[in-house]
Chains A and B, each alone.
Chain A
Amino acid sequence: MTSSEILIKARGLTKKYDQFMAVDHIDFEVYKGECVGFLGPNGAGKTTTVRMIYCFLPSTEGELTVAGMNVSTQARQIKSMVGVSPQEDNLDPDFTVIKNLQVYARYFDIPKEEATKRALELLKFFQLEEKQDVSIYQLSGGMKRRLIMARALINEPRILLLDEPTTGLDPQGRHIVWDEIRSLRKQGVTIILTTHYMDEAAALCDRVLIIDNGKIIETGVPQKLIKKHVGEDVLEVSYDEAVLKTLKEELPDAHIEVFGDQIRVFINQPHGVFERIVKKFPDIDLTIRNANLEDVFLKLTGRKLRE
């Protein structure tokens, strides 16, 4: 689905608060039809970047264009072609489910009949048909999330910004949202997704940007990043002096991480590299598992808690 047409382009994009650099001179582009994940610890600058894209926050410095339009001078045109699903629940509690969509459609100048038609279609798509006349207070967390996404689509946006769309959802709710995101991708909608769930990013995104301290520290296709930074297999074992010593001797190229009472070993080599270690310690429980995006993320951003 991805084409070579650039839809969003940032050059030296910066957002500064007093002494704090929320976003620090970042460059990136998003191609038409792509699903791009913004990953990063809390406070990394993901949401700030998203907010600058939908012209909510002005940038301090740098250039940001959406569909070739400048965010600071053509905000209205940009906002009319972007759909936003924010992190926090800002549904209108004074209205019912369907009325939320109808009132929101009016902000986009969508005529009433058309708005109702689209609202009904979206409620069906997000499996909320039965709730259409219900008050917002009676919706579960998952239903609210889906309604927020439905609302983000009321203007038939070319670009969809999803800021942590599955945070706080149960596994069922998450998978419904994932299905919907995949289906929107197939329809050619360009999507930017921020998330703390690496499995989500790996499952949905064509490409991810890893952001830390306001800077993009890595970017690429999830599977390629895994191969590049952590290889194919990861060995996990409870802390043991003898095992650690052997690992260091046998695998001098490996990246050995000791955190808490766990040893984790990453190595840029194909499957099978750990077999001989396992054989040496038949009585110790050594686990070999596939490397994943979370390993990459933790390797690049560290294990220190943020905020």
Chain B
Amino acid sequence: MTERSNPSSSTSRLPRLTYRVWTVWRRNFEVFMKTIYVNFLPALLEPLLYLAAFGVGLGALITGNISGYGSYIQFIGPGLIAIAVMYGSFFECTYASFVRMYFQKTFDAIIATPVSVEEVIAGELLWGATRATINATIVLSVVTAFGLVSSPLFLLVPVLTFFGGLLFASLGMCFTALAPNIDFFNFPAFLFITPMFLLGGTFFPLSLLPGAVQTVAFAVLPLTHVVNLMRGLVLGRIEPFLGLSSEIMLVLSIVWIAVVTLMFFVLAIKMMKKRLIK
């Protein structure tokens, strides 16, 4: 085992990760399992409430076929799964990671062992993605129980939720690296997450918005792409958008998520390393 690196040039490299990442993941998983009922309940109740309020209630006022997907309740089903991905991982890697880093000093304790700081953060990010997948799978089962799934491709939903979760986990961790205190997270929560929740193509088709807004939403809002692909998996079709065909939209959203996730995954690790090791 000879690992050599020049510390002065390590900032310009990709982080070196080993299987030890999973020891960090397992720590979080075991804590999660200890309080599993508390963790499951909100994830189960939230989609039920949304489906009741927006699907059954508001949906009764909305007639017709929404963008060719069917009824309104059918349209929002995949949106709710995507929202669970976003909330699950973003809040895990902001508030929860911050508590572990700042108040519990859990990261400092782990870094004194053969696990490196890069591996600690990577473990946190993979856990954030897992948390998103757990939450989203619960929502998926609710959506399925309501009879809102119409494509066998829905079996691939966990793959999408994991990578979508990794995306939001990485974004969240970048904010954690910058957070001077825990209240700081109100900024990204209200200026970044809430607008996406409402305007990311979740509750109404993006095509109803002005053209410029559509382009911006497509270019910079991660949730838009997760919602897009989620509709494809759950309902079997991606809506053509901005004059682009369903197939092109499929490829664009996959590439967008892959590139941005990789970028922010690496960036999050670097920013956290800079914060933790002075």
Contact = CB atoms under 8 A, between A and B. Distances in A.
B68 to A, nearest CB: 47
B200 to A, nearest CB: 33
A298 to B, nearest CB: 31
A284 B58 CA distance: 94
Contacts of B106: 90, 92
B183 interface: no
Contacts of A46: none
A95 B113 contact: no
Interface string B2-46: 111101000000000000100100110011001000000000000
A219 interface: no
B64 interface: no
A259 interface: no
A95 B26 contact: no
B1 A56 contact: no
Given A92-B104, A106-B27, A108-B113, 12 more contacts: A17-B278, A56-B111, A57-B277, A76-B114, A76-B116, A86-B109, A92-B106, A92-B109, A93-B104, A106-B23, A106-B26, A107-B110
Interface string A81-106: 01010101111111100000001101
A88 B110 CA distance: 14
B275 interface: no
B112 interface: yes
A146 interface: no
Given A90-B105, A103-B30, A106-B23, A76 B112 contact: no
A74 B3 contact: yes
A136 B94 CA distance: 24
Given A86-B108, A90-B105, A75 B113 contact: no
A56 B112 contact: yes
Nearest to A75: B116
A48 to B, nearest CB: 10
A62 interface: no
Contacts of A92: 27, 104, 106, 109
A241 interface: no
Given A57-B277, A72-B7, A94-B31, A107 B105 contact: no
Contacts of B109: 86, 90-92, 104
A4 interface: no
A80 B106 CA distance: 18
B114 A109 contact: yes
B3 A107 contact: no
A107 B7 contact: no
B3 A57 contact: no
Interface of A: 17, 54, 56-58, 72-77, 79-80, 82, 84, 86, 88-95, 103-104, 106-109, 155
A80 B2 CA distance: 14
B107 to A, nearest CB: 9
Main secondary structure of the interface of A (DSSP, over half): loop
Contacts, number: 70
B118 to A, nearest CB: 11
B254 interface: no
A86 B104 CA distance: 13
B53 to A, nearest CB: 34
Contacts of B114: 76, 79-80, 107-109
Interface string B82-103: 0000000000000000000000
Greatest chain B CB density within 10 A among A80, A104, A106 is at A106
Contacts of A17: 278
Contacts of A54: 112
Contacts of B113: 79-80, 104, 107-108, 155
B48 interface: no
Contacts of A155: 113
Given A103-B30, A107-B114, A108-B113, A90 B3 contact: no
Nearest to B110: A107
Nearest to A93: B104
A107 B115 contact: yes
27 contacts: A17-B278, A57-B277, A58-B7, A72-B7, A73-B3, A73-B4, A74-B3, A75-B3, A75-B116, A76-B116, A79-B113, A84-B112, A86-B109, A88-B105, A88-B108, A89-B105, A90-B105, A90-B106, A92-B27, A92-B104, A92-B109, A93-B104, A94-B34, A103-B27, A107-B110, A107-B113, A108-B113
A70 to B, nearest CB: 9
Contacts of B104: 90, 92-94
A254 B271 CA distance: 57
A72 B112 CA distance: 14
A116 to B, nearest CB: 15
Interface string B121-148: 0000000000000000000000000000
A58 B11 CA distance: 13
A78 to B, nearest CB: 9
Q: For B7, B20, B113, B278, which residue has the most chain A Cβ atoms within 10 angstroms?
A: B113
Nearest to A51: B112
A75, A86, A89, A94, most chain B CB atoms within 10 A: A94
A51 B19 CA distance: 25
Contacts of A84: 112
B5 A95 contact: no
A169 to B, nearest CB: 20
A104 B110 CA distance: 8
